[in-house]
Amino acid sequence: MTNIHALIESKTNQLKDEIISFIQQLVQTPSLANEEGPVQKLIFNKLQSLNLQSETIPVKFDDIKDHPAFNDDGFSPDSRINVIGQWNSNKKGRSLILNGHVDIVPTGPEKLWTESPWSGAIKNDRIYGRGSCDMKAGLASGIFAVQVLKSIGFEPSGNIMIQSVIGEESGGCGTLTNIVKGYRADAAVILEPTSLKLCPIQSGALTFRLIIPGKATHAAMRWDGVSAIEKFNIISQSIIEFEKKRHNSFSVEYYESPERVAPINIGTIKGGEWHSTVPESVIAEGRLGVFPGESVSDARMAFSQHLKKVSDSDLWLKENPPILEWFEGQFESGKTDVEHSIINNLEMAYKEVNNSSSKIEGVTYGSDLRLFTNHADIPAILFGPGDVRLAHSANEYVKIEEVLTCIKIISNLIINWCEE
């Protein structure tokens, strides 16, 4: 271990209590969509305390609505902001973005939580609470990597930009705003929960709505009607088979489970009007997975053609086909070449801290990675503390030791990347 790596190790460990406290503050500050202001103020104040060039960026849909990657999440007041902190260099080394989102998903029934989802409670060396894993601890890791390097007197040869963004969970309006406004770097690390695996590939995800028609009649003479629920069952079962066929038709690398690269899920179902009436309609909403390298239009077409094929095989659905709508989150897939130097440098930083190699893996969920790779020509990778399987769940948590390790790795990455 070189002297600077030893200093990073020592300083990170010294800051442990401060790191934990800051993550707790972030968790204790709810930041659901359209309610991100208070937590962004915390972030802004923290960046200012590090003497970074700090600014707030208004997120206005009028600025991005004409962009092909725009997704309307239903919220567009002028009070929504991104926060950016820049550590600028007077040299010409490579620059780096450290990106993380502060918006979180709803907690679900609080009775399912052992502690309050806003507690930031610590148990068994874990920080609990909504957003702890996804992804406030990751964002904090990037911030403290900068703090560690500043505190040991390191000066980067390239610019470092911390981006605290909103709107990732519902389409990416925050990161897209930064891109449209011209914020660029030579590479980006998105500090999503990857269990410290290197994830330069993401599947896409398209939100859809199906409206399945039926024919209402009194339940006592149900044979004179057509149950929309029964017709939905035909479609839902066919979707399971469609998912299998899609996976058999695509060849992908770097995924832990190749048969689970682009999952299809029905998330909500609303059907029927009265217990004694044959249901006249069913509205089902879900997500269609998009394979790496597959275009959004091709994925939509494949799904639409499948629905037509199923409908044509049923007398009622052939004459009364389901209506397919695409709405809200429309995440493309995204990819950075696994041989890119940002991947190699992150691998090197990982080895310097852990004396072992990390794993390169694709992820099945959508993220802001595709905005950097597809719309800003910026190579990007997902890397951060936390297990994504805990995200969006009750009793979400992040391991403290994993956060500290991430800070050390990102600190080393900054040295490796910017000095070349």
- Spot the catalytic one: 9, 36, 73, 103: 103
Over pLDDT 70: what percentage of the chain? 99
pLDDT of residue 73: 78
Average pLDDT of the chain, as a whole number:
96
Does residue 411 register a pLDDT over 60?
A: yes
The closest of 41, 129, 26, 134 to 80, measured between CA atoms, is 41
Please name the residue that has the structure tokens 């000066």.
Answer: 155
pLDDT band at 407 (very low <50, low <70, confident <90, very high): very high
Residue range 282-329, pLDDT digits in tens: 999 999 999 999 999 999 999 999 999 999 999 999 999 999 999 888
pLDDT of residue 1: 57
Residue range 237-291, pLDDT digits in tens: 999 999 999 999 898 899 988 889 999 999 999 999 999 999 999 999 999 999 9
Q: Cβ neighbours of residue 162 under 8 Å, at least 6 residues apart?
A: 47, 52, 84, 85, 86, 87, 97, 98, 142, 143, 146
Q: How far is CA 53 from the centre of its chain?
A: 26
Residue range 24-68, pLDDT digits in tens: 999 999 999 999 999 999 999 999 999 999 999 999 999 999 999
Does residue 404 register a pLDDT over 60?
A: yes
125: Cα within 13 Å, side-chain hemisphere: 7
| Residues listed for the chain | 420
Q: Cβ neighbours of residue 303 under 8 Å, at least 6 residues apart?
A: 208, 242, 288, 324
- Spot the catalytic one: 9, 73, 134, 168: 168
pLDDT of residue 143: 99
CATH architecture for segment(s) 3-202+333-419: 3-Layer(aba) Sandwich (3.40)
pLDDT of residue 206: 94
Does residue 230 register a pLDDT over 90?
A: yes
314 is known as an active-site residue: no
Question: Apex CA 262: angle with CA 259 and CA 265, to 5°?
Answer: 105
Separation CA 345–CA 189 (nearest Å): 12
Give the mean pLDDT of 118-130. Answer: 98
The closest of 2, 15, 1 to 143, measured between CA atoms, is 15
The first and second tokens of residue 356, run together, are 């072992």
pLDDT of residue 259: 84
Does residue 104 register a pLDDT over 70?
A: yes
Query: What angle do the packed helices 400-419 and 341-354 form, to 10 degrees?
Result: 130
Domains 3-202+333-419 and 206-330 alike in fold: no
Give the mean pLDDT of 205-212. Answer: 97
Q: How far is CA 409 from the centre of its chain?
A: 21
Tally of CB atoms within 10 A around 14: 12
Helices (H), 181-321: 228-249, 296-312, 315-319
Residue range 11-25, pLDDT digits in tens: 999 999 999 999 999
* Ramachandran angles phi, psi of 219, nearest 5°: -60, -25
pLDDT band at 130 (very low <50, low <70, confident <90, very high): very high
110 is known as an active-site residue: no
Class of domain 206-330: alpha beta
Helix (H) or strand (E) holding 343: helix 341-354
- Where are the domains positioned within the chain? 3-202+333-419, 206-330
Q: Cβ neighbours of residue 399 under 8 Å, at least 6 residues apart?
A: 125, 126, 385, 386
Residue range 144-196, pLDDT digits in tens: 999 999 999 999 999 999 999 999 998 899 999 999 999 999 999 999 999 99
Q: How far is CA 317 from CA 215, 230, 277, 308, 323, in A?
A: 11, 11, 20, 9, 11
Separation CA 395–CA 275 (nearest Å): 36
Query: How many H-runs (helices) and E-runs (strands) does the chain carry?
Result: 12, 16
Q: How far is CA 151 from CA 12, 66, 411, in A?
A: 10, 43, 12
Separation CA 26–CA 368 (nearest Å): 21
pLDDT of residue 77: 67
Does residue 420 register a pLDDT over 80?
A: no
The first and second tokens of residue 229, run together, are 């629920």
Contact 197, 361 (CB under 8 A): yes
pLDDT of residue 79: 81
The closest of 290, 400, 413, 280 to 349, measured between CA atoms, is 413
pLDDT of residue 168: 94
Give the mean pLDDT of 192-210. Answer: 97
